Structures are given as structure tokens and as C-alpha cells.
Amino acid sequence: MTPLRQQLINVLTLKGYSKRTEQSYVESVAALATYYHCSPELLDDGQLEAYLLHLHARGYSASTLNVRLSGLRFFYARVLKRPFVVEALPRPAQPIRRPQAYSRQEIGALLRLGVSNPKHRVFLMTVYGAGLRLGEACTLQTSDVESGRMVLRVRQGKGAKDRYTCLPPWLLEALRGYWRLARPRTWLFPTAGDRLSPITTRTGQAIFYRARARAGLPNRGGIHCLRHSFATHLLEAGVDLITLKKLLGHTHFTTTAGYLHVTAERGAELPDPLAGAAPKG
């Protein structure tokens, strides 16, 4: 490992960035160095701009370009102390994508028909029933299930923030049944054959893809669409945006308000959305 890469990792660690962000930023700087076959500290503004234009010409999405640009901005400003090198480079505009959600009936089909493994079923039920991000669901601990308060604790969610989200009665019942069967210790959903490690995000995503295929549901994205479905169904049931923002752990109100477009398009008012999705039997 080069001294510059280690220095970048050290700064990211001290500032509390997640491992995922650390990996993305390190990859961004490493790709730049590989492209020019030299240390990134030797590059000037024009070379950086030419590199980003090269990525754009190769068809990289706006999201990927922004991640690369964020990594380079951080590296030059925080590690090399040269903010003037990249501060003038514009951010690519990202297309506005509305969140896609499944109906209550589709969620029910996913949970009833898509999975036969009890652990996998309860994992998907938890992602949907508590509106979790994939990484949040994978790293849940048994002590995070607070049945007395009917809440689920989310440790170090996006932005390194703790929060509480709802724990519907049907989900609590499913979690209790799963606990009696699997007896998880620290991690609520441990890796198969290794109770000392949590399930990986890759495994969690694979569980969803298999379940979606078996249930015959349309492709509306990855497992994150279960979180979108959670938010959409709560709005349709009359939950206000402020409460929903807290449950989802959003930083900006405009992010939560984006679900209003989905509910308007669906044009439905559902009285008890989460309970209706719980599998029976």
C-alpha cells in the first residue's frame, strides 16, 4: 500500500466515513493513478478534467461520475490540501428517478411464494416491515429488537446516525418464531455456518432476487424497493411525512417527499398496509 493511499484511509477513518465510502474513494483515486500511470499528486486541473470527460465518454452514469468526483475532491482537499485543483469542476446532473414500489399484494406474494427458508423470509420481512436499508438489516443485533417499546433500533445507519423505526406486531411475531428456531446470538441474521459474523449485503441482495423470481414479480430494482414499498404504503395509510422521515432516517425532507409522487400515481388509500403484507401460516 502506498503512503498516499494509507494517508487517504487514515483521514477517512478519523472523519468517521463508512467502509463503503472509504472503498469508493480509494478506488476513485486508484483509477485516476492507473489511467495516467503516475501519482495523482502530480496531476493538474486540466488532467483531472480530461479524466472525467474520459469517464463520461465511456458511458458512466451520473451517479458513478459523482462518486468518482467526490472521491477526488476529498483526496485533493483533505489529503493533499489542494482544494483549488478540483473545486471548479462541475458535478454531473443526475436524472430524477422516482422510487418504485410493489403493491401490498405483491409484497405478500414475495413473502409467501418467493422464499421457503425461514431465515430468508424473516430477513425480507424485516427489510420491508421496518423500512430498512440493506446494510442496516444485515447488521441488526438481537438486542436491537425492543419489543417492550415496539421499535427496532438501527445502529449507525446512513450518515453514521442511530435511529429507531417501527416494529409492527406481525413482524415481532415472525422474529420471535425465527429466534425460537435459529437462536441467533449477537447478530440477528448471522452468516450461514458462522454465527460470529452478520449476513453480507451480497447475500441479502441475492435472497431478494431469488424470491422475486420465484414469486414472478416484475423487476422494480433491487432489495431497496422493499424500503420504497414500506414508505409508499405508510403514506397511503395516512402517516405524515415528518414521522416517515424519522422512520426512514432521511437527512433531507425533500427525499421523503419524493414518495408523494408514487402515492399520487397509485391513487390508493389503504387502511393497514403493513399488516396486509404479513404471510399467513
Q: Known catalytic residue: 176? A: no
- Residue 52 pLDDT: 83
Q: HEC profile for 171-200? A: HHHHHHHHHHHHCCCCECCEECCEEEEECC
Catalytic option among 112, 158, 210, 246:
158
CA-CA-CA-CA torsion for 253, 255, 261, 267, nearest 10 degrees? -70
> Cα separation of 20 and 14, whole Å?
15
Distance CA 222, CA 202 (A): 11
119 Cα distance to chain centroid = 20
Residue 158 bears catalytic tag: yes
Q: What is the dihedral of CA 129, 134, 135, 138, to 10 degrees?
A: 60
Out of 73, 163, 212, 250, the active site residue is: 250
In this prediction, residue 97 carries a pLDDT of 65
Residue tagged active-site, from 104, 120, 227, 228: 227
Residue 270: predicted pLDDT: 41
Active-site option among 133, 163, 212, 233: 133
Q: Is 133 a catalytic residue?
A: yes
What is the model's pTM? 0.68
- For the chain, counts of helices (H) and of strands (E): 14, 5
Domain ranges of the chain: 3-85, 104-276
Architecture per CATH, domain 3-85, reads as Orthogonal Bundle (1.10)
Q: Residue 90: what pLDDT?
A: 63
- Exposure b/e, 64-74, CB count within 10 A at least 16 = b: ebebbbbbbbb
Q: Using CA atoms, how far apart are residues 34 and 115, in angstroms rounded to an integer?
A: 43
Given this model, what pLDDT does residue 265 score? Answer: 54
Strand partners, 198: 190
| Domain 104-276 indexed as CATH 2.40.10.10 | no
pLDDT recorded at residue 268: 42
- Catalytic site residue from 224, 245, 246, 266: 224
Mean pLDDT by 10 residues, the chain (281 residues): 89 85 92 93 87 84 84 90 67 67 94 95 96 94 95 79 91 96 94 87 96 96 94 88 88 76 51 52 47
Q: Catalytic residue, from 51, 76, 102, 259: name it.
A: 259
